[in-house]
Amino acid sequence: MGSINGKDIHKVVVACDAGMGSSVMLASQLRKQLKKFSVTVEHTPVNSIPGDADVVITHNGLAARARAAAPDKVVVPFQVFLGDPAVTAVVKAIESGGEVSG
């Protein structure tokens, strides 16, 4: 919980239940969008979010589990898999600075 400035984001984790489907697809898109920046994008199951994650992006339905699993992280929930405004806001914050809160 809390917030983080886009400039301080070095690792974005996309979490879903099994880490084999939706998170993989979204992470591939984010990797492409963030290619120019020194930001690592990983996809993981929601209960194995790595300790060095700065921001956790996860489906609305899994946000509570993500917050429980990673209480000190900024958790950004999304509703639609591709083109969700919440995810776009994270990309924008990384590109040009700005706060991401969760």
Partner 1 sequence: MAELTGDLLDRRAIRLAEEAADRDEAIRRCGEALVDTGAVHPGYVETMLARERSVSTYVGEGVAIPHGTLAGKDLVHRDALAVLRFPAGVDWGGQPVTVCVAIAARGDGHVELLASLAEILLDADRARALREATEPEDVLALLVPAPEDSNR
> Using CB under 8 A as the criterion, which residues of the chain lie in contact with partner 1 when the complex forms?
16-22, 24-26, 28-29, 32, 45, 47, 59, 61-62, 80-83
Among 94, 91, 86, smallest CA distance to 59 is for 86
- Smallest gap from Cβ 63 to partner 1, in A, equals 11
CB contact at 8 A, 14 and 57: yes
Closest to partner 1 by CB, 16 or 93:
16
- Smallest gap from Cβ 78 to partner 1, in A, equals 11
**Distance, CA of 66 to CA of 75 (rounded, Å):** 7
As a residue count, the chain comes to: 102
Find the radius of gyration of the CA atoms of the chain. 12
Closest to partner 1 by CB, 4 or 25:
25
Closest to partner 1 by CB, 2 or 61:
61
**Distance, CA of 82 to CA of 50 (rounded, Å):** 23
Whether 5 is catalytic is: no
Active site residues: 16
